Amino acid sequence: MSDDAVPALDLEDVLPLIDRALAEDHAREDVTSHAFVPADREGRAEVLARESGVLAGRPVVEAVFARLDPACRVEGEFHDSDRFGSGSVLFSVHGPVRSLLAGERTALNFLRHLTGVATLTAAFVERTMATGAKVYDTRKTTPGYRLMEKYAVRCGGGENHRMDLADAGMIKENHLQAAFGRKGPEAIAEAVRACKAALPEGKALYVEVESIEELEAAVEAGATVLMLDDFDLGDVRQAVRYIRTRPAPRPALEITGGVRLETMEALASAGASRISIGALTHSAPNVDLAMKIR
């Protein structure tokens, strides 16, 4: 799969973060390279995979080196969303060797993390392929990295939940406690009615429910997506049966809370159309990648 199959990452939005990362590393003040690496030495740095995965972040690497030194260029066949095996040369960076050395760590820090997010997402997506359920991320992202991490989720075959608090309405237990001092079906119904009256036209309304009774109240009040928080498999199936009795258009069901790889296939088979997983972004392990000067 090539990177044109994935909605593009708007690099203009992440350039300030790239610039901060380069400044943090004092990448233009590499005292070691300046001490004995000739200023006119040209070369290439190969990005090598020490384990298999799904690539995400090549445009970020390109931007890191372009910001550091416009003479650098990135070449190679692997693009974001491509699967790769251990030992693969993903791509190479060509240019002044001092610049390659100066940008190495910043580029790899971005690439290893984003590829980790894409790789973990792909593992969850594989467990749902026979069911038609879609895998969604959450807002449990690294501060400042949200656009990149959600892009990496897309590279892994996942879908993006709301991007931020303004993107859609979402009623959770804390909202109910803050507004009414209680939770439960009546509080949920009141909150849904209030949101529907206040939300701009076209904004989705997600409602987190903890029981079938809360689910029914949210549906009656007009919620768009019902988030089944920590439902066990039997309760998910009961929720699916209930929604199928409703007239079209029916609200979507989303499983959320405590979803693990080992439970993913069974949950996806229960009939909900969406599964959201905070771990895609907050717990994805980095993929082991290295950069070697040639």
Report the catalytic residues: 105, 140, 172, 208, 229
Contact criterion met (CB below 8 Å) for 93 and 65: yes
Consecutive H or E run containing 111 = helix 97-126
Task: Please give the Cα distance from 291 to 49 (Å, whole number).
Answer: 9
What is the arrangement of strands in the sheet containing 169-171, beginning at the earlier edge strand?
A: 134-136, 274-276, 252-256, 225-229, 205-209, 169-171
232-257 exposure pattern, b = at least 16 Cβ within 10 A, e = fewer: eeebbeebeeebeeeeeeebbbbbbe
Instruction: Report the length, in residues, of the chain.
Output: 294
Task: Please give the Cα distance from 83 to 103 (Å, whole number).
Answer: 24
Contacts 24+ apart (CB under 8 A), 243-246: 243/219, 246/219
